[in-house]
Structure 1
Amino acid sequence: VFIFITQSMRADPLFWGTIFISPDIITSADPSTYKSISFAGQDTRTMYDRRVNGWITINPFLFNAVYYDNLTIEIQVNPEFGNSETAMSEAQKYGS
């Protein structure tokens, strides 16, 4: 699962390791402004894949996560998850 806020420029991470997700950064006890998530289809995206230590261009499942503070982010889920239902479960886990 990859979560990106779309930008027109691509740059290296500011600090080593900032592209990796730690399981303890956010816990279920933390407050959230998460409001909803919706499936937005599939489209071409360039995403970082740590398995190959580089950028890949794939056709991920796309979701728009909306928050009560008026922010919206695009969540990109690798097509290796197989279908939009399984991908939605992953997107909800990381978006909420």
Structure 2
Amino acid sequence: MFGALGSARHHCRLTFLSQAAAANGVAERLNLRSAIAVVKGCRTVQKADMVHNSLQPNITVDAQTYEVRVDGELITSEPADVLRWRNDIFCFKESGCFI
């Protein structure tokens, strides 16, 4: 529930650094306390390289009717009857909301 607060955030995330940054001690100079992961080949990554993310449909929205079309096909959805309170939103008077 409070993974983003206090020192917990340093133990539940990764900071991605280039090979050059890792080799030059950037993590130490910045006093990073989270785990470090070194990445390579990022400059050549394209949308087609992403798992389940290679589609590039033509999406259009009619400004008058708000109809949405994906590759020319009208898409629709029924309005929700009930909107449930999400368990991952916590609101506190003193500090606002955390998602």
> For this structure pair, what is the TM-score category when the shorter chain's length is used for normalisation?
under 0.3
TM-score by length of 1: 0.21
User: Highest relative contact order (Cα 8 Å, sep 6+), 1 or 2?
Assistant: 1
* Structure index of larger Rg: 2
| Bigger proportion of residues as strand | 1
